[in-house]
Amino acid sequence: MTHHIGTPLKNIPPNILSHLTGLVRSQFQIDRKVISIHPVLEGENQASHFVMITEEDTHFGIKHSQGVEVEKMATEIAQLLKAPNACPTIFLENGIPLHPFKNKPIIITNWLYKSEIVRDIPKELLTNDLIPFFYQFGEWIAFSLLFGVRDRHQGNWVWSIDEKKLSMIDMEESFGSAQYTDYLWAVIEFSNPERFKNPSDNQSEGLAFKNGVIAMVDKFKTERKHIAAILSQKFVLQAFYNKWMELNEDDFLRELFVGL
């Protein structure tokens, strides 16, 4: 994934890089040598957000901000529900033996390979792939509404141009109350609201979006008991609930389209 990143941290002991390489191998089943760590130069949490890069250019985000445990739970649920290209994430309560991560709770996330932040992709490079884009976007929007994921601007979505894969990132603001306005940017940028409210073309992005929403709602209904078990791990989230969880497919879509 291409973030705006700074120059690599200097003088990292070889044994620390070896430790991180072992962590990547054991936790992500990726056998690639970690060669550098860089600060991320954007986002609200940039002071606590870094990326480690392997010799084959796989990127792993490292974050030690206040919401890391919440983000780990959100990504765990996303993977359970098979949300499109949900990035594997691990939580380490005591961090890793390197400043500024030592003795701090952190998450490490395997970023979507060779992806770009949607905000930075020229519009014409997405125009020909709107059907797969909006199907995956529909799944992620349904997920966000179900689990109250906020702060969904264009900088929190990534797209793999070659593989036509979309993923949603930076979910530390989960389990709140999501806002419709967080998602309007994609409809306005690449289509128009009427094509979503009244999708008449079998190949339209509006229909793809609708089918994506339905797919995620169905998966949520199937896995609801497992999701409750995940939320029970954190006391303040045991009672998490919002209205979207009780809506059937038709009512979910109707309520969503009111906001478009």
- Return d(Cα 68, Cα 45) in angstroms, integer: 11
* pLDDT of amino acid 181: 73
User: Is 120 a residue whose pLDDT tops 70?
Assistant: yes
Q: What is the pLDDT of residue 201?
A: 65
pLDDT (average), residues 55-79: 91
Whether 239 shows a pLDDT value over 80: the answer reads yes
**Contact status, residue 181 vs residue 188, Cβ threshold 8 Å:** no
- CA-CA distance, 249 to 216, in Å (whole number)? 10
- pLDDT band at residue 248 using 50, 70 and 90 as cut-offs: very high
Nearest 5°: phi and psi at 161?
Answer: -65, -45
**2 — pLDDT class (breaks 50, 70, 90):** low
Mean of per-residue pLDDT scores for the chain: 89
pTM score of the predicted model: 0.91
Q: How buried is residue 241: exposed, middle or buried, by Cβ count under 10 Å (0-12/13-18/19+)?
A: exposed
Q: DSSP secondary-structure letter at 245? A: G
The partner residues of 92 in beta bridges, in order of sequence, read: 106
SS3 call for 164:
coil
Domains of the chain, start order: 14-110 (3.30.200), 116-258 (1.10.1070.11)
**What pLDDT shows up at residue 235?**
76
pLDDT of amino acid 149: 94
3 vs 70, residue with greater confidence: 70
4-8, 59-63, 94-98 — which is least confidently predicted? 4-8
The conformation of residue 108, written as its DSSP 8-state character, comes to E
Per-residue pLDDT of 13-42, as tens digits, reads: 999 999 999 999 999 999 999 999 999 886
pLDDT at 44: 59
Task: Report how far residue 96's alpha carbon sits from residue 27's, in angstroms, rounded to the nearest whole number.
Answer: 14
Is residue 133 within 8 A of residue 126, CB to CB? The reply is: yes
CB atoms within 10 A of CB 168: 27
Q: Is residue 259's pLDDT more than 90?
A: no
Give the Cα separation of 57 and 60 in Å (integer): 10
Contact yes or no for 73/230 (Cβ under 8 A): yes
Per-residue pLDDT tens for 175-223?
Answer: 998 877 777 788 888 877 777 777 666 668 889 999 999 999 999 999 9
Residue 98, pLDDT score: 87
